[in-house]
Structure 1
Amino acid sequence: MKLRFSSGECSVTGPRPRNEDYIGLVTPADAQLEIKGALLAVADGISGGAGGAEAAEMTIRTLCADYYATPDTWTIQHALDKVLLAANRWVLSQARKHQHMAGMATTLSLLVLRGQRYVLAHVGDSRIYRLRAQSLQCLTTDHVWDRPDMRHVLKRAVGLDDQLSVDYAEGLLQTGDVYAIVSDGVWAALGDADIHKVLMLYHTPQLMAEALSRLALEKGGQDNASAVVVRVDQLGDDHLTDMLADALSLPLPPKLAIGDQLDGFTITQILHDSRVSLLYQVKNPAGQLFVLKTLQASRADDPASCEALLNEEWLAKRVVSQCVPQILPLSREQRTALYYVMTWHEGATLQQRLNAGHHFSINGVANIGQDLMRGLSMLHRLNIVHRDIKPANIHMGSDNRLRILDLGVALNSTLAMPAQIDNPGTPSFMAPELFEGKLADRQADIYAAGVTLYHLLTRKYPYGEVEPFQSPRFGEPIRPSRYRPEIPAWLENIILKAIARKPDQRFETAEEMLLALEHGELKPIVIPRTPLIERARLVKWQWLAIISLCINLLLIYLLLVS
């Protein structure tokens, strides 16, 4: 079910020489509406300030274009915040660059409607009203000075300060809700009572918007009068979970053999057959090779596994990069079963190379580390935490490109992950804090990447191999140079920093670790060593207790024999 709404807009100049208000409406269709939602906004250039109209127009234009260009994996608020900060910087730069534009700024009030929810962003003294069940409510707060003679002076606006502070709020939509975004030229002239009357009187949002602007001038308004009105006619699906409802209704395919066909794809090779999933190499009618991933037929009654597969496809579709395999866009109508298809690349995983006896050189591992950090930094910028970095999930193609595989347990703030995979991963590559119940984050990915590099160099694990369901104790890691003395100190220190027991002692970001790997021995990092007495704290006190006991026993013996 799709979100359906009707909207109207009106902006009139009134008695002023020019209109410094600007309206923006973006109402995309189909998938874009379900992922990004519809955007409605009103900006009011600061009256009397040169460039107010330009500030309002460019802020709205930047917002409408750049919001829809942000990654689909970002939350609405995160995407809006990034775009608005960029718009604020642009307005400030224009004011500083052009003397006649000094002081240019604008208010901004906007709504994003998606699925069954709305998100609003607001700065300045434009307002957003909601009419629900015949009751009118103002959803925003004016950012003006709280003094009778200063209530026309803004405390916050786009372009007013280097640090833009925006009010965000969100809530549930209801069928029949009417939202009105109005400039101060409307609400100041009419008041809440007249706005309520207009929204109740007219039947279409376009008539409501026109009536609000016209009546504001008739009531003696001396400012530009702008209004955007939207009415919710039908609630949509609740973003990803409901978007995938149709796909979840697809049956799992039976186990396929070489030569079998599925929706036009011919099975050419079975790549992976595990307890949960199946990977096939397939060929389309044009002869192109792909990889088809699905689940074992026995998982048909396991909604968590089916949801994880669809989450993986949804995330991977939104990662447009050479660092991961790309997803073939297939609509619901093109599939008769639950699976997805991704690009095929010649090569092998790092684990397959280890199993084949490949010896990884120092330079080779350093280069792998750089490519891995580039891939991780790209995922982290999209708010994706992989949660299962290990050699088996890193593919080195015959084109010498490294690709990160398997986003099946990746975590993203826009997805509701099944509870039973809150902390997945391979135990030997899992960070210490994960065994204490902390949810995986970027620091956990960096730790796993460090263990991966350690393992490629030594075929060992820094804290020993961890078995499933084991509760390991993490002491001091064994330095990789113990197994390979030729490992240079700069590379060893980078790995030791990445696998530090405490997250705050690791690299803060993947980009920081990448920079350290790129600089190498030119700018080596230093790992502070823990003093021996601190590392052996318990042993020291144990020895002191034993020595003290021995002395006491000796004194007692001497006392008895004397």
Structure 2
Amino acid sequence: MKIRSTSHALPRDDGRPSSDAVSVTTWNSGFIAALADGAGTAVAAREAAEHAVSMIATHYRSHPLGWTTGKALRETVRLINRTLWNESNARFGRPEMVCTLVVALYDEGLLTYLGVGDSRLYLLRGGEFQLLTQDDIDPENPLRLTKALGAAETLVATTAKISLEQGDVLFLCSDGIHHHLSDEELRESLLAETSARHIAKRARNASPDETRDDCAAIRIEVESLGWTERREDHQLPIPEKLASGQKHDGWSLLRSFGANDRCWLAEREGCRQVMKFAPLEAIDQPAITQAFLKETWNAIRFSNDPPFVKAWENPTRSSLYYIMEFVDAPGLAMLLKQRRLQVDEAVQLGNFLVEAGMRLLRHDLVHGDIKPENILIGSSYDSVFFKLIDLGSSCEVFSHHSRAGTASYLAPERFKNAPISERTEIFAIGVTLYEALTGSLPFGQIERFQTPVFRDPKTPSALNPLVPPWLEAIILRACSIQPEGRYSHFSELLFDLTNPMKVRPWHADQAPLIQRNPVLFWKCIAVFFAILSLILLIRLATLH
């Protein structure tokens, strides 16, 4: 996930330290933000706040794997409270190390939050501003806290959970801010993307001398949500035997797709859907379970993109699977056994694959296994449409240095441990278009563990005379053996597909100069004959 955060602890008066403390800790799939307000102006209060926020992330990240995020956070706070209580009594003989605390934790796909005292957590979503925490104060005396960290030997803290959305803004603050700025003023500041530092300064400037206080704030904007493992998913059973007629959560399995007996067409009350179950190997290999869960998340988050099929989870599922819409269309590989694509269909397929690749790349992902078997082709009135399926091999660009994918569609550099990239995806698109138009693979069938020797393929027009020169040049450039000869970006390939008259001719590296650059060839010939004529003239002149 990606967040943008600012935080600041501003003292009541310049020239002295603040009794508030702030901390934001992030990792690949989550973050934990903590804000503490030392109760009082004594050094012990400041130490309590600093100690609380410094311990939060350390203790939470080391919690037992069997604990939920809520339990882990509550136990962490309970431990910090007891530590402050014991240290305070040992040093002062009474509770001096006391502070309020508010925590916002994003882990396992949910935001878990907790508040102790009167420091607050707000959520700004779509212009609506909401207070998530409740103040622990005496209703008859608003200045008296009913609960604080380190104030008693035991502390019972409660947590709550909500889902986050892209674009959400979280705002944590001490009472020095929310006592002097109204909710509407805070909302306007957050909408204007005001930093935590400037909001703290605004609150301090707005407060009279008699009520002025330290001001601390944390502003977190969620730019994108990443995939996170959920503990309960790992506890779902994985069915070992799947067969026609079996029922799963009310759905009857009808038939499996191809050789993959983990992907089934299912039916209930006349409705059909596709159920994809976790691989058998996931039963005793947690890494495969994790990969399947990530595939599930990718399938669901790209559901609304036209190139992909819709996917979702059954919230009450009893085993580990996810669901996809059933598209009543054959796979491209099956169609190619009957006929080759027409030129206009191949151009449409190329545009489709480039668009799908660009949509994935916006999220730093590549498909990883583009081939006819992963493309559905259907008809709609007088045109065809395509869908790209199976995100099981999708991964972050430049993340894989292995031969993951289907060998016959892997770029040559992938066999030498080069990372997966935009260029290697373009190679797979080129091979797929070559096969769709000719019925053959440009470099032949390559086995998974084979280390092939690549040679320039036959031109597509040699196998299918209907392929125009401009499209042939695109395909051969896309599946160039040398990465430098290939398109660098999807946008370059898309431009050529949509501008046939501007496509540059393509010639293999071993082709003679007259084919690769006829203008240069005839220039060289002209220069040669000019030099030869000059030599002959000089010899004739010397003879006379």
TM-score, with structure 2 as normaliser = 0.56
1:530 match: 509
SS at match of 1:395: strand
Q: 1:137 to 1:280 in 2, by over 3 A?
A: closer
Alignment partner of 1:328 is 2:312: yes
2:389 match: 405
Alignment partner of 1:228 is 2:217: yes
Paired with 2:335 and 2:507, the residues of 1 have a C-alpha distance of: 34
SS at match of 1:371: helix
Q: 1:438 to 1:219 in 2, by over 3 A?
A: farther
2:485 match: 505
Alignment partner of 1:354 is 2:336: yes
Paired with 1:294 and 1:138, the residues of 2 have a C-alpha distance of: 42
2:272 match: 289
Match for 1:209 among 164, 174, 184? 174
Q: 1:132 to 1:495 in 2, by over 3 A?
A: farther
Q: 1:490 to 1:111 in 2, by over 3 A?
A: farther
Unaligned runs of 5+ in 2: 11-21, 35-45, 61-72, 78-95, 103-117, 120-172, 178-199, 220-224, 514-544
Q: 1:43 to 1:460 in 2, by over 3 A?
A: farther
Q: State the Cα distance separating 1:265 from its structure 2 match.
A: 1.3
Q: 1:313 to 1:204 in 2, by over 3 A?
A: closer
SS at match of 1:517: helix
1:272 match: 258
SS at match of 2:471: helix
Paired with 1:453 and 1:305, the residues of 2 have a C-alpha distance of: 32
1:94-493 → structure 2 map (5 Å cutoff)? 117=31, 174-175=59-60, 202-204=99-101, 206=118, 209-211=174-176, 227-228=216-217, 240=227, 242-243=229-230, 245-274=231-260, 277-285=261-269, 287-295=270-278, 297=280, 300-319=283-302, 320-331=304-315, 334-355=316-337, 357-399=338-380, 400-412=384-396, 422-493=402-473
Paired with 2:368 and 2:300, the residues of 1 have a C-alpha distance of: 18
SS at match of 1:447: helix
Paired with 1:239 and 1:523, the residues of 2 have a C-alpha distance of: 40
Deviations 1:365-386 (A, max 9, x none): 1121112211221122222211
The sequence identity of aligned pairs, in percent, is 26
SS at match of 1:486: coil
Aligned residue pairs total 355
Q: 1:467 to 1:273 in 2, by over 3 A?
A: closer
1:1-16 → structure 2 map (5 Å cutoff)? none
Q: 1:172 to 1:465 in 2, by over 3 A?
A: farther
Is the 2:487–2:493 contact (alpha carbons within 8 Å) kept by the matching residues of 1?
yes
> Looking at CA atoms only, which structure, 1 or 2, has the larger radius of gyration?
2
Is the 2:460–2:467 contact (alpha carbons within 8 Å) kept by the matching residues of 1?
yes
Q: State the Cα distance separating 1:471 from its structure 2 match.
A: 0.7
Unaligned runs of 5+ in 1: 1-34, 45-108, 121-130, 140-170, 179-198, 231-237, 535-562
Q: 1:329 to 1:499 in 2, by over 3 A?
A: same
2:525 match: none
The residue type equivalent to 2:330 in the other structure is A
Q: 1:304 to 1:209 in 2, by over 3 A?
A: closer
Q: 1:299 to 1:112 in 2, by over 3 A?
A: closer
SS at match of 1:504: helix
The residue type equivalent to 1:386 in the other structure is H
Paired with 1:40 and 1:288, the residues of 2 have a C-alpha distance of: 50
SS at match of 2:423: helix
The residue type equivalent to 1:375 in the other structure is A
SS at match of 2:505: coil
Is the 2:176–2:213 contact (alpha carbons within 8 Å) kept by the matching residues of 1?
no
Q: 1:39 to 1:290 in 2, by over 3 A?
A: farther
Q: State the Cα distance separating 1:295 from its structure 2 match.
A: 4.2
Is the 1:447–1:500 contact (alpha carbons within 8 Å) kept by the matching residues of 2?
yes
1:537 match: none
Paired with 1:132 and 1:119, the residues of 2 have a C-alpha distance of: 18
Q: Larger relative CO (CA 8 A, sep 6+): 1 or 2?
A: 1
Paired with 2:361 and 2:503, the residues of 1 have a C-alpha distance of: 25
Which segment is superposed worse, 307-316 or 209-218?
209-218
Paired with 1:469 and 1:531, the residues of 2 have a C-alpha distance of: 28
Q: State the Cα distance separating 1:228 from its structure 2 match.
A: 0.9
Paired with 1:307 and 1:488, the residues of 2 have a C-alpha distance of: 46
Is the 2:308–2:389 contact (alpha carbons within 8 Å) kept by the matching residues of 1?
yes
SS at match of 2:296: helix
Q: State the Cα distance separating 1:336 from its structure 2 match.
A: 1.0
Paired with 2:409 and 2:26, the residues of 1 have a C-alpha distance of: 41
SS at match of 2:403: coil
Q: State the Cα distance separating 1:201 from its structure 2 match.
A: 5.5
Deviations 1:297-319 (A, max 9, x none): 46522334333322211111111
Q: CA RMSD in A?
A: 4.3
Q: State the Cα distance separating 1:280 from its structure 2 match.
A: 1.1
Q: State the Cα distance separating 1:396 from its structure 2 match.
A: 0.8
Paired with 2:176 and 2:248, the residues of 1 have a C-alpha distance of: 58
Paired with 1:404 and 1:322, the residues of 2 have a C-alpha distance of: 9
Q: State the Cα distance separating 1:454 from its structure 2 match.
A: 0.5
Is the 1:428–1:465 contact (alpha carbons within 8 Å) kept by the matching residues of 2?
yes
Paired with 1:373 and 1:201, the residues of 2 have a C-alpha distance of: 59
Deviations 1:322-379 (A, max 9, x none): 2111112322xx1111111100001111101122x22322222112111221122112
Q: State the Cα distance separating 1:39 from its structure 2 match.
A: 6.2
Q: State the Cα distance separating 1:519 from its structure 2 match.
A: 1.6
The residue type equivalent to 1:495 in the other structure is I
2:65 match: none
Deviations 1:521-551 (A, max 9, x none): x2222335535579xxxxxxxxxxxxxxxxx
1:66-105 → structure 2 map (5 Å cutoff)? none
1:190 match: none
The residue type equivalent to 2:296 in the other structure is E
The residue type equivalent to 1:469 in the other structure is F
Is the 1:481–1:487 contact (alpha carbons within 8 Å) kept by the matching residues of 2?
yes
SS at match of 1:203: strand
TM-score, with structure 1 as normaliser = 0.54
Q: 1:218 to 1:500 in 2, by over 3 A?
A: same
Q: State the Cα distance separating 1:256 from its structure 2 match.
A: 3.3
Q: 1:457 to 1:517 in 2, by over 3 A?
A: same
